[in-house]
Amino acid sequence: MKKTLLAWQIAGFVFTSVSGVLLHFLYDWSGQSVIAAPFSAVNESIWEHLKLLFFPMFLFALVENRKAGKNYPGFWCVKLTGVVFGLILIPVLYYTINGVFGGTPDWINIAIFFAVTAAVYLLETRLFLKSTIPCKNSDGALNVLYITAALFLVFTFFPPHIPFFQDPITKTYGAIR
């Protein structure tokens, strides 16, 4: 079971990493398609970059659950914990490094993405192996992930006008310009 779990988690890391990089460019590659917008980064805001972690992780988790999820008690609670950890860690690292150094080169931002992706899958692996998360409502955890996906959709087109959602380069918000 440990080897199978490790294989799934490594595959998840690779899938999330590769898909996240591709999703960074998908919106522009698609001619700024309204269909690609909810799933890809439509600008350089922190909010939009969280999609690069969330959607590949969620899609992979849906597949993983169908193939192996029944082997892991509290599957969706662990996945929700991993996603929330990653969605918090990205802005914490970004704003901390920006605050300390007054800005970050692109390679640091890319490194943050890969480091957080690795940290998330390591955390999930540990939680699966230790079975340390009490999961009373796995369906509720899955529903929170669906709600999060819906929030990404809504805020892509109707973002709050606060710095977290603002493209630092163009000073625009969301997909509607």
13 in any annotated domain: yes
| Neighbour tally for 134: CB within 10 Å | 8
Tokens of 129: 């192996």
Instruction: Answer whether residue 125 is part of any domain.
Output: yes
Contact yes or no for 67/59 (Cβ under 8 A): no
Distance, in Å, from the CA atom of 4 to the CA atom of 6, rounded to the nearest integer, reads 5
Q: Is residue 172 part of a domain?
A: no
Answer yes or no: are the C-beta atoms of 44 and 169 closer than 8 Å. yes
Q: Above 70 in pLDDT, residue 1?
A: no
- Could you tell me the pLDDT band of residue 161, with boundaries at 50, 70 and 90? very high
Residue 127 lies in domain = 2-165
**Which of 6-20, 54-68, 119-133 is predicted least confidently?**
119-133
109 and 94 in contact (C-beta within 8 Å)? yes
Domain assignment present for residue 22? The answer is yes
pLDDT of residue 130: 86
pTM over 0.75: yes
The answer, yes or no, to whether residue 132 has pLDDT greater than 70, is: no
Residue 177 predicted with pLDDT over 60 = no
Using DSSP, state whether 31 is helix, strand or coil. coil
The answer to whether residue 108 is domain-embedded is yes
Q: Is the pLDDT of residue 136 over 90?
A: no
Residue 126 lies in a domain: yes
Q: What is the pLDDT of residue 138?
A: 86
Residue 170 in any domain: the answer is: no
| Over residues 160-177, mean pLDDT | 90
Residues facing 166 on adjacent strands: 173
Show the tokens assigned to 165: 């959602």
How confident is the model over 66-103, as pLDDT tens digits?
Answer: 998 888 888 999 999 999 999 999 999 999 998 898 88
**Whole-number average pLDDT of the chain:** 93
pLDDT digits (tens, 9 = 90+) for 22-69: 999 999 999 999 999 999 999 999 999 999 999 999 999 999 999 988
User: How many structural domains are present in the chain?
Assistant: 1
Whether 52 maps to a domain, the answer reads yes
Over residues 96-125, mean pLDDT: 93
